[in-house]
Amino acid sequence: MAAGKMDVDKDKAALGEAANKLKVDEDPENEGEWMRLADLRYRISTPKSSKQKKEEDMKEFLRIVEKFDAIAVYQATCSAAGIKEDAGLVQRMTANRDNRLKEVEGAIETAMELEGDMEVREGLMCKAQILARSAEQAVALKAYDEAMSLPKTTSGQKLDIEFNLMRVGLFWSDIPFLDKHVQAAHVLVDNGGDWERRNRLKVYEATYLLCIRDFKKAASLLLESISTFTAVELYDYPKFVYYTVVCATVALDRKTVRDKVIHAPEILQVIGDDIVLETMMNSLYHCDYRDFFQSLVDVVVDKLSMDRFLAPHSRYFLRQARIGAYTQYLESYHTVSLPSMAETFGVSVAFLDRELSDLVACGRLSCKVDKVGGVIESNRPDTRNALYQQTIKTGDNLLNRIQKLSRVITI
């Protein structure tokens, strides 16, 4: 009997030790810090960043790398930036990672013998998280697939795994992989996802849409999430506001920007800390085009070109924002002189003439540039008249078809 009691005590001790080793790091701020490594990796690797800024980013990068034993991203960054690897650091991080994995795998075996599916799943998720933070993408995906394939996995648990997989895709900028798991997450949410997960998915999908340059849909999803944002494992709230303002600038009409962005209390609480972004947002609405152009350049150079999601689209954003400003300005005039418009925007006449000519030629602006007279003639399309003419044309076609049909029936 005493021996039996000793065996029970040993089992309890083993279970307690295994439970401690199987704990997943559920702190979203830690996950957000790990995601920040991908941002730092981009800034360290891009030639657009200054040497001083790269040195500052590298210090922060190394601190986070050591914290999470992030071997794969460290080696990838060194390779991309042409930096010599610290062999001692890699060896130390590899040893830490392997020891931790050995502990977790031993605890998983104990859970399989003495506990149930819940504890085994927790162990596999813990293992997958370690590999996601330290190993290459393919290794992490295999670990998450193992957790997903467990029996009795609920839709909520599957959705949590999909969020992890989407973060891995965002971290390594694997857009096709990200698209696949955004769609998979939608299926799970539609089949019974809770309110909190639905809102988080909007932010994940909006971030994916930023990557593929669908600013209009991204803006809609981001605006829906302003008051319910909880996805701090991706980025903090100021960065969320930054993405919202950037998308709204080129994707939404003036009235919507006023109602949902400029007058949004949640945005007003944060945007005051970013003077350049605030100036860009307000100056376009208030038709202060000179300040808008200046702040637009600052936002593109200092922010978009340093942002791994938006850097590939920075030139597109710059062009679209300028088109929006030109369109808004020309709506107020039938004719305006080139020098007057150039003065309003703070650019040279030659630059304005060249840019407007290009935009008119490709059908992006409805106006005519009279170089001889030095004026711009706005020929805004009359939407109401065009709709009226289309209705008359459609009606005439319908009457002609009815007449033909009546002749056939009569015969």
User: Residue 25: its pLDDT value, please?
Assistant: 81
Q: How far is CA 287 from the centre of its chain?
A: 29
In contact, 277 and 299? CB cutoff 8 Å: yes
Asked if 33 and 13 count as a contact pair (C-beta separation under 8 A), the reply is no
Tell me what pLDDT residue 339 has: 92
Question: What is the pTM for the complete model shown?
Answer: 0.85
pLDDT digits (tens, 9 = 90+) for 60-96: 999 999 999 999 999 999 999 999 999 999 999 999 9
Residue 375's φ and ψ, nearest 5 degrees, are -130, 160
Q: What is the DSSP string of 337-389?
A: EHHHHHHHHT--HHHHHHHHHHHHHTTSS-EEEETTTTEEEE----HHHHHHH
Reference 341, options 324, 350, 349; nearest CA is: 349
Mark 369-378 as b/e (b = at least 16 C-beta within 10 Å). beeeeebbeb
| Exposure class string for 195-229: b at 16+ Cβ within 10 A, else e | eebebbbbbbbbbbbbbeebbebbbbbbbebbeeb
**How far is the C-alpha of 232 from the C-alpha of 322, rounded, in Å?**
32
Longest dimension (CA), the chain: 108
Q: Rounded mean pLDDT of 285-313?
A: 94
Query: How would residue 21 be classed by pLDDT, with cut points 50, 70 and 90?
Result: low
- 249: exposed, middle or buried (C-beta count within 10 Å: 0-12, 13-18, 19+)? buried
Q: Which residue has the higher pLDDT, 343 or 13?
A: 343
Tell whether the model's pLDDT for residue 13 goes beyond 60: no
Output DSSP code: residue 394: H
Q: What would the pLDDT profile of 305-364 be if each residue is shown by its tens digit?
A: 999 999 999 999 999 999 999 999 998 888 899 999 999 999 999 999 999 989 988 888
Q: What is the pLDDT of residue 12?
A: 46
Structural tokens at position 162? 């999909």
Residue 367 has pLDDT above 60, yes or no: yes
pLDDT at 152: 79
